[in-house]
Structure 1
């Protein structure tokens, strides 16, 4: 004898209500159409019977899977978990779930994963993998795939994005160092092919230009990546080329930690010899030695806003493309101080 999976009709009989009432209760979008007392009774009986919605059948009827594909470049990077948390919380409120994949930086791997997600009939994509000139983004646009970019954006403006306002963030970092008295400030930039690398570089240069600082005293060194190792290698080379530098604005917190490594290797001290400002305010930056001054971006807010935009794109395909930039804030800790006299 086989156990038959309970159906909506079974739940309706157990709850003493009509089949259509159970159907409304089981859909978070229509649950408010049923009284709270009846909805609670239906949910109790559904749980007692072990009822599970048949998503495959539902997809055939509604042409919606209520699943969003979320593609990350590096799930080990502490920037992404709070963004993902915001995405998942925002989606669940509307009865959607996320399928999360980690793809790295390889374009062919990204294309493979995205095509597989689309083959699984996801209703839309949230991508944290965008490059400034990204054929995968264009492919999704051409195929009318609902799409939102997070943390990074591309240069075409063809799809909505939710990012931190990097121009503001870099201005806050530079102004902080200027107030400390620094006049030889450098920036370790992320890769130029990523919007975060490009915009933070532009923000740094704009802040220097808006100040009274001699632009020749501001040095930009592009790193090959955002890792700790890249940050260390970049600062070692930066100080070789610009030994007068007294303060560094790093393109990420991980790069800033790499700067700490380089400073120690050179027998120097932070902030006595070189002040360091990070970017992101990842968890535990306050526990570094010294605690890292950094630009705090609104990770969770980026995620919840991305969830809102992807659902909007699904429900209203002709809705306007939005470029949402959330304002960051400076967090002053102990890695910055006035330069030596």
Structure 2
């Protein structure tokens, strides 16, 4: 016969073990009120809770405080390696404040994203991190606004006055173009991201402005926007550029997954990278240094993005702080996918 399950340990038992009043134990175990308890007493309470295996009753705490200590996050493709370091850093920052992160993946479906917002709101999340929003008329963002949910955007801006943490997309693309130009490239095409997303629009604008700043011609048709950020979409866009644009020596891609697709298109066309054509990406997602040749790309500080977004959201939850967009600086990472054009090799 199996032994009986141990009875759950309540807050009163923890308080008795630590020699304090239950209200003191409650404050000591709540990150938001821990500062109200003398450090030695708080340490005794935390030590007693750990020793006894105490876990707060989340439902009771939610009823008492009006907060669930849960934060939701929507990402457009949880299998995309870009989001792993962002979510890990956000989860760590939230855990320091006693919050847990719930992640939902609506893919590229705006209606599904809005449904997930409704589901997370029904679970009384304290706030939301959104990495899915489009520039205009985004259903998920509208669902957050109508419910008054504290919201922060990650890696996207939504044009709705909602706080966001983003990379400087224009500057990143300017770095890629300047790098290619320094190698001697003059005929550079752009595999762009989805136009409805801020990353697609701003990186295209950055590419076009950088080409003009370098004094380089950009003929009509030398920019091809992919409908989504994916390897297959990158291959299709790069193939179109290679077939219709004579003399391309470099492809500047708006995303590393698009760049991987460009690798496929170049190889299918019999072009060697970088001997025949150079390719750059954008994001520096995990493992792009392991492909052959390793990808020259624009590094986004993903972990810092996750941390900043989480802390910004916590400020909104606790203090109602209204903040603007935090723009993080990107950096060029030069690897083996870029070199001088054929004529100068």
Select the residue among 1, 24, 27 that pairs with 2:27. Answer: 24
2-structure distance, mates of 1:44, 1:229: 53
What residue number does 1:110 align with?
A: 113
Segment drifting more, 202-211 vs 173-182? 202-211
Query: Any conservation in 1 of the 2:111–2:139 contact (CA below 8 Å)?
Result: no
Task: Confirm whether residue 241 of structure 1 aligns to residue 244 of structure 2.
Answer: yes
- Of 220, 225, 228, which aligns to 2:228? 225
After TM superposition, give the deviation of residue 41 of structure 1 in Å.
2.6
Matched, 1:86 2:86: no
1:33-182 alignment, distance < 5 Å: 33-133=36-136, 134-156=138-160, 158-182=161-185
Q: Any stretches of 5+ residues in structure 1 without a counterpart?
A: none
Aligned partners of 2:117 and 2:276: how far apart in 1?
Answer: 47
Is the alpha carbon distance of 1:258 and 1:2 closer, same or farther for their aligned partners in structure 2, counting shifts above 3 Å? closer
Aligned residue pair count: 339
CA RMSD across the alignment: 1.6
Q: What is the TM-score of this pair, normalised by structure 1?
A: 0.95
The superposition leaves residues 62-116 of structure 1 with CA deviations (integer Å, 9 ceiling, x where unpaired) of 1111111111110000000000011111111111111111111112221221101
C-alpha separation in 1, matches of 2:105 and 2:116: 9
Mapped to 2, the partners of 1:42 and 1:311 lie a distance apart of 25
Contact 1:184 1:218 in 2 (8 A): no
How big is the shift at 1:33?
3.4
Native 8 Å contact 2:188 2:250 kept in 1: yes
> How far apart in 2 are the matches of 1:339 and 1:217?
21
2:275 is equivalent to residue 272 of structure 1: yes
List runs of 5+ in structure 2 lacking aligned partners. none
Q: Deviations over 1:30-66 (max 9, x none)?
A: 2233344433332232223222101111111111111
Contact 1:184/1:217, CA 8 A, preserved across alignment: no
* Alignment pair present for 1:324 and 2:326: yes
Distance 2:79 2:13 in 1: 44
In structure 2, C-alpha distance between the alignment counterparts of 1:61 and 1:212, rounded to whole Å: 64
- In the TM superposition, what is the alpha-carbon distance from 1:3 to its structure 2 partner? 5.2
Partner Cα separation in structure 1 for residue 7 and residue 44 of structure 2? 22
| Per-residue deviation, 1:9 | 1.1
What CA distance in whole angstroms lies between the structure 1 residues aligned with 2:139 and 2:286? Answer: 33
2:327 aligned counterpart, secondary structure: strand
> Using the alignment, how far apart are the partners of 1:116 and 1:216 within structure 2?
47
CA gap of 1:203–1:218, structure 2 versus 1, over 3 A, is farther
Q: Is the 1:183–1:217 Cα contact (8 Å) retained in structure 2?
A: no
Taking the aligned partners of 2:107 and 2:228, their CA distance within structure 1 comes to 12
Rounded to whole Å, the distance in 2 between the matches of 1:151 and 1:104 is 15
